[in-house]
Structure 1
Amino acid sequence: MDILQARGGEGRAREDRAGEDRAGEDRARAQLARQAAAFSLGVPVEAVQASGRGTAAAAQARQVAMYLAHIAFEMSLARVALAFGRDRSTVAYACHKVEDMRDDPAFDARMDDLETSLRAMPAPGRIVGMPARTGAPVAAGMSW
Structure 2
Amino acid sequence: MQQSECKPPALPSAVVFFNGLAGKPVPPDPVRGMIEATVGQVFNILLEDLGSTNRGPARVALARQVAMYLTHVACGLTLTDVGRLFARDRTTVAHACAVVEDLRDDAKFDRVLDLVEMIVRFQLQSRDPRSAA
CA-to-aligned-CA distance 1:13-41 (integer Å, 9 cap, x gap): xxxxxx4xx1x437321221111111111
Determine which structure has more spread, i.e. the larger CA radius of gyration.
1
| Identical aligned residues as a percent | 34
The match for 2:64 is: 62
The match for 2:55 is: 53
Cα distance in 1 between the residues matched to 2:126 and 2:51: 22
Instruction: Give the count of matched residue pairs.
Output: 108
The match for 2:81 is: 79
The match for 1:132 is: none
The match for 1:40 is: 42
**Structure 2, gaps ≥5 residues long:** 6-28
**Structure 1, gaps ≥5 residues long:** 1-18, 130-144
Deviation at 1:118, TM superposition (A): 1.2
Q: Contact 1:29–1:73 at 8 Å: present in 2 too?
A: no
- Secondary structure, aligned partner of 1:103: coil
Cα distance in 1 between the residues matched to 2:99 and 2:91: 12
Deviation at 1:125, TM superposition (A): 6.2
Cα distance in 2 between the residues matched to 1:70 and 1:76: 6
Q: Which amino acid aligns with 1:38?
A: G
Larger RCO of the pair (alpha carbons < 8 Å, separation 6+): 2
How large is the RMSD of aligned CA atoms in angstroms?
1.9
